[in-house]
Chains A and B, each alone.
Chain A
Amino acid sequence: MTELMFWQSFWFLVIGAAIFLFLWLDGFDLGIGMTLPFLKSKDQRLAALNVIWPVWDGNELYGLIGGGAIFATFPVVFASLLSGLYPWVVLLLIGIMLRPIAFEAWNHEPKNKAVWEWAFALSSFLIPFVAGVALGTTIAGMPINQDMMWDHGHGFWEALSPLSVLCGLAVVALSLLQGSAYLVKKTSGDLQTQARKDLTPRTLFAGISLVLVLVFALLDQGIFMGKPLAVVGIVVGLILILCGLVGVWLHRDEKSPEGAAYWFSSAIIAGTMILVGGIQFPTMIRSTIDPAFTLTIFKAGVSNPVNSLSFIGILGAVALAITAVYTVLVYRIFKGKVDHKSHLHY
């Protein structure tokens, strides 16, 4: 393994970590956002928004950091993924733009807040679903040609394989579960009771969708060609996922510690990322045209002189550390239980 390959693998890990942080942290606010209009009372919706208010935009930032890291270290992947999935990315961007607009409008709108709650819910659904589809497409494969781009003449619907759609649903399911688990941790009263009730169906939804993702991946032998870490990833990932699912299931009642479900739910997300990372390494995007066209980290990585790559590596590590400090700081400032009287007003 050369030093260049080391840095390319390092960046694969960093991007994976950023995606994990995105699913883990943004997961709960997306999950809470998606079902916001379905909460029964004004006070419940207000309390739910108060839970996510201080942190949701910072959480979303990790998704962008992941995207930025891909742009910086695998520009070819950034270009072929976004231009290939163009119409899907537009949907993702509508979600990303609509969210802060809906939130601000909700905050200032004097009467008719329901419209903005639905807009917030729609955007909170679009982001995880399309992000999941995109992740699934890199695993299931895109028509990548010898120019390392989406081959002209293949329509955008080719992104919708059963596996990629299931991945989209799985990310939605994980976000929903994470949302309920976080509400149990952060709220009290009838909202907490409702969140506890939601844990059971959402655990089931998450479990089934993850099993289906794995089954459909295993049906396609081509996915595992040239993947040295696939077995390790699947075994370790599955253990974590199973522990997480069972843990949430066991801690759904009122006698359990309030934070338990959240941490077990987080373990499911960690397991999922280990599983996906194991199945993917060292591939970034699989080609459905010819395995030789598949974009691996060694093929698509920036061929920077190593001193520059290590400089960017250190820069990235410092930057991520700073971001982590901010995140921890904000969570500390706003720690503790939240209700409808905390920050915002209806």
Chain B
Amino acid sequence: MDEMSLILSRIQFAMSAGYHFIFPPTTLGLAFFIFLAETFHLTTKKEAFRKLSSFAVRILTLVFALGVATGLLLPFMFGMNWAEFAKHAGALFGVQLAVEATVAFTLESVFIGVLFFGRDRLKPIWYWLAAFFVFFGSHLSGYIIIAANSWMQTPGGFTVDAATGHMIMTDFWAFNFNASVGIRFAHVVAASWMVGAFLLVACAAWFLKHDKETQLAKTLMTFAGTIALIMAVAQPVIGHMSTLQIEQTQPAKGAAMEGQYLTQRNAPLYALGWVDEKNKKVDGIALPGMLSYFYSADFNYEVKGLDNPEVSKNGIPPVNATFQMFRLMVMAGSICIGVILFTLIFHFRGTLLRKKKSLTIVIYTAIFPYVAVVTGWFTAEIGRQPWVIYPVASMNYPGLSTANALTKNLDQGYVWFSIIAYFAVYALCTVVFLRFLPVIVKKGLDPQPAHVENDVKNT
């Protein structure tokens, strides 16, 4: 097997999936906001909610299109670079992706079109229903994809055909309700709502900073800021529950995330640190006993480390990478909590408008939920190495390693070609996103249609 093809293919997939994952959480977050705003508009009849919803819809169309553009190539990559995986798991994984495309993705894309052009053509209740379908479709789509990924971490619902070595589906629902999907989906949804809310908070901050449409911007700040605060505070709790789940089903990943080489009671939690993988130790700021406490509310709890054969029986992932990515995610999330807390305090005391420099900070804070989302995925995916599909002892399933998932005899030149081509497209996509997102925002929270403006000028 060509070592370079494997490394390049892994870089390519990490780059593609990581880049793609900027857009879907934004879609989910905006869809949630739009659905809430439409619901409030329907019940309170306040125009502000309609205006803010339409503002979010304008951003959503751009984000959704770029999400589609970058997401479509991922399933192709399974056939191109990971052909052995495609053959081995296609009977389950392929079904899942086909269901996503037909049931969820179509629903979402059709009704986003309706949201964009249907305001004047539909009665309010039908428009609200379209907003609901976009919300429901995007989250269903998210669930189906997270279920597929979670299934690779905690497989179920299959047997292996002895003759071919390929998987056979035995239970579609066991696939979709596998051991880790519930908590992981909650974690992703909370992250997505954070991403969307912080983006809208940044927009509100921009309008406040430039003294434009301040009344509406304040409403947006209250609305999106509240979602942002609730989700930013709830996320550590959900994330914590996810780590408890990881400790059960993927102990090696859990130990790597915390840098635990030794099995011990009163296990320390490293706030920051550097893992010395050669000497199997961590240098850094340790909070004694806190990890034991986090896992079971008991300082005497014995945390199993990588030295424990129960933990390391399925191999050990790159410890330092997993450790650092996890810390980056937590730090990014913490910054979000701090900034939104102070922003809302100033906002509700009515002094936010005067703090122009602080508003600049609020605008740029929108980047941190994205940092948390991407580093969180890197934690999850590096932490499950060396496996693409994790072994299951109870099912006698030996797992599929990343190296064995690679297309046999994959030409290195092919992968160079594709990695450069994809990179070029992503660069173009980034240019388009960064150039036109501000264009859409700066048109205003409630822009007047062109012909109305002309009428005003003429009179």
Could you list which residues of chain A lie within 8 angstroms of chain B, going by C-beta atoms? 54, 57-58, 61, 64-65, 67-73, 75-76, 78-83, 86-87, 89-90, 92-94, 96-101, 103-105, 108-110, 147, 149, 152, 156, 302-305, 308, 311-312, 315-316, 319-320, 322-323, 326, 329-330, 333, 343, 345
Contacting pair A104 B97 (CB below 8 A): no
List A contacts of B68 (CB < 8 A): 57, 100
B396 adjacent to chain A (CB < 8 Å): no
Q: Take A79-B87, A86-B80, A101-B429 as given contacts and tell me if A302 and B102 are in contact as well, using a CB distance cutoff of 8 Å.
A: no
Q: Show 5 residue pairs from A and B whose CB-CB distance is below 8 angstroms, ordered by the A residue.
A: A72-B95, A319-B103, A329-B110, A333-B118, A333-B121
Interface string of B200-241 (1 = CB under 8 A from A): 000000000000000000000000000000000000000000
CB distance from B459 to the nearest CB of A (A): 23
Among the stretches B32-40, B299-307, B404-412, the one at the interface with A is B404-412
Q: Let me know if A320 and B102 touch, CB within 8 A.
A: yes
B8 within 8 A of A: no
Cα distance, A170 to B134, chains bound together (Å): 38
Q: Which residues of A contact B258 (CB under 8 A)?
A: none
Per the bound structure, the CA–CA distance linking A109 and B70 in Å amounts to 20
Asked if B166 is at the interface (CB within 8 A of a chain A CB), the reply is yes
Bound-complex Cα distance A100 to B105 (A): 15
In the bound assembly, the distance between CA atoms of A67 and B90 in angstroms comes to: 12
For the complex of A and B, list the 5 residue pairs with the smallest distance between their C-beta atoms, beginning with the closest.
A75-B90, A82-B79, A71-B94, A68-B98, A72-B94
CB proximity of B90 to chain A, nearest CB, Å: 2
The secondary structure that dominates the A interface is: helix
Q: Give Cα distance in the complex from A186 to B217, angstroms.
A: 42
- Kindly report which residue of chain B lies nearest to residue A54, judged by CB atoms: B113
Chain B 70-90 against A: per-residue CB contact (8 Å), 1 yes, 0 no?
101101101111011011111
B66: CB under 8 A from chain A? yes
- B residues within 8 Å of A by Cβ? 61-62, 65-66, 68-70, 72-73, 75-76, 78-81, 83-84, 86-91, 93-95, 97-99, 101-103, 105-107, 109-110, 113-114, 117-118, 121, 161, 163-164, 166, 168-170, 172, 407-411, 414, 417-418, 421-422, 425, 428-429, 432, 435-436, 439-440, 450
Which of A57, A81, A311 sits near B172, CB closer than 8 Å? A311
Q: Is the CB of B72 within 8 A of A97?
A: yes
B436 CB to closest chain A CB (Å) equals 4
Structural contact, A71 and B425, CB atoms closer than 8 A: no
Contact of A86 with B414 in the complex, beta carbons under 8 Å? yes
- Chain B nearest CB, measured from A346 CB (Å): 12
**Which residues of chain A come closer than 8 Å to B89, judged between CB atoms?**
75
Scoring B73, B81, B84, B118 by chain A CB atoms within 10 A of each residue's CB, the highest score goes to: B73
Q: When the two chains form the complex, which single residue of A80, A89, A302 contacts B91, counting CB atoms closer than 8 Å?
A: A302
Q: Is the CB of A322 within 8 A of B106?
A: yes
Q: Measured between C-beta atoms, what is the minimum distance from A293 to chain B in Å?
A: 15
Complex formed: what's the CA distance from A14 to B105 in Å?
19
Q: Are A319 and B98 in contact (CB under 8 A)?
A: yes
With A64-B72, A83-B80 as contacts: A312 and B95 at CB distance below 8 Å: yes
Residues of B within 8 A of A78 (CB): 78-79, 86, 90, 94
Give the shortest distance, in Å, between B114 (CB) and chain A (any CB).
7
Q: Is the CB of A304 within 8 A of B169?
A: yes
Question: Shortest CB–CB separation between residue B137 and chain A, in angstroms?
Answer: 10
Contact yes or no, A104 B62, CB < 8 A: yes
A69 to chain B, nearest CB (A): 6
Interface centre among A110, A315, A329 (most CB of B within 10 A): A315
Given contacts A101-B432, A302-B91, A311-B172, contact A69 B440 (CB under 8 A): no
**Shortest beta-carbon distance from B118 to chain A in Å:** 8
Q: Determine the chain B residues whose CB is within 8 A of the CB of A72 once the complex forms.
A: 90-91, 94-95, 97-98
Which residue of chain B has the shortest Cβ distance to A150 in the bound complex?
A: B409
State the Cβ distance, A337 to closest chain B Cβ, in Å. 17
- Whether A83 lies near B113 (C-beta < 8 A) is no
Q: How far is the CA of A308 from the CA of B68 in the complex (A)?
A: 30
Q: How far is the CB of A73 from chain B (nearest CB, A)?
A: 7
**Alpha-carbon distance between A326 and B417 when the two chains are bound, in angstroms:** 37
Q: Which residue of B lies closest to A85 (CB)?
A: B80
Chain B residues contacting A315 (CB-CB under 8 Å) are 95, 99, 172
- What residues of B have a CB within 8 angstroms of the CB of A319 in the complex? 98-99, 102-103
A81: B residues at CB distance < 8 A? 79
Given A69-B98, A312-B95, A322-B102, the answer on whether A79 and B69 have CB atoms closer than 8 Å is no
Interfacial chain B residues near A323, Cβ < 8 Å = 102, 106
A226 to B226, alpha carbons, bound, how many Å? 67
Contact B87 A100 (CB under 8 A): no
Residues of B contacting A69 in the complex (Cβ-Cβ under 8 angstroms): 98
State whether B94 touches A90 (Cβ < 8 A). no
Whether the Cβ atoms of A94 and B101 lie closer than 8 Å is: no
- Give the residue name and chain of the B residue nearest to A63 (CB): B72
Residues of A within 8 A of B118 (CB): 333
Whole-angstrom distance between the alpha carbons of A166 and B163 in the complex? 39
Distance (whole angstroms) from the CB of A175 to the closest CB of chain B: 19
In the complex, are the beta carbons of B102 and A305 less than 8 A apart? no
- Give the docked Cα–Cα distance between A321 and B93 (Å): 21
- The reply to whether A147 and B107 contact each other, CB–CB distance below 8 Å, is no
Known contacts A308-B169, A323-B106, A330-B113; A79/B417 CB under 8 A: no
